[in-house]
Amino acid sequence: MPAYTLQQKAYAQYKNNKVMGASGPELTLMLYDGAIKFLNIADYAIEKNDVQKAHTNIVKVERIIDYLRNTLDMRYPVAKDFENMYSYIAMRLVEANISKDRDIIIEMNEHLHAIRDNWVEVMKANNIAVKDA
């Protein structure tokens, strides 16, 4: 078996173990990090006029936002605030995907960074270890 295949398998196993061993708050942080990563890829793809790559990565972010929206516990008042933020982001992502507008991607990236940074502060305030932050 070629070495790169073993390395790929080892990395995939590492990522799987990281996800499987993560707490709920850690998983949420991973989702925010993933969304930011995919937005960065989409932004670069738009800059390079790679329409398909931009589309693929914007859709990945849309799926993450949909997942986050679907996991909100609406018994808590703060969930409505998150629902409003996620709804706005989802709407703007559709607009960005249709028009391949980098300005919208940059705006959504700023919002997701702010949400992620606030999430890290909440985790720290609740004595939840923040790995790789």
pLDDT (average), residues 34-50: 98
pLDDT at position 103 is 97
pLDDT at position 129 is 85
CB atoms within 10 A of CB 60: 17
Tell me the pLDDT tens digit for each residue of 100-131: 999 999 999 999 999 999 999 999 999 988 87
pLDDT at position 25 is 93
> Where residue 38 falls among pLDDT bands split at 50, 70, 90?
very high
Separation between Cα atoms, residue 29 and residue 131, nearest integer Å? 10
Query: What sign for the dihedral angle of Cα 35, 114, 68, 51?
Result: negative
Separation between Cα atoms, residue 38 and residue 86, nearest integer Å? 16
> Where residue 55 falls among pLDDT bands split at 50, 70, 90?
very high
On average, the pLDDT of the chain sits at 89
**Contact at 8 Å (CB) between 114 and 85?**
no
Q: Which amino acid is at 66?
A: D
pLDDT at position 17 is 54
**Contact at 8 Å (CB) between 115 and 13?**
no
Entry pTM: 0.83
Question: Quick one: the chain helix, strand, coil %, rounded to 5?
Answer: 80, 0, 20
What is the set of domains in the chain, with CATH numbers?
24-125 (1.20.120.340)
> Where residue 1 falls among pLDDT bands split at 50, 70, 90?
low
pLDDT at position 131 is 76
Ordered DSSP codes for 34-82? HHHHHHHHHHHHHHTT-HHHHHHHHHHHHHHHHHHHHT--TTSHHHHHH
Name residues whose C-beta falls within 8 Å of residue 53's C-beta, 6 or more positions apart in sequence: 41, 42, 45
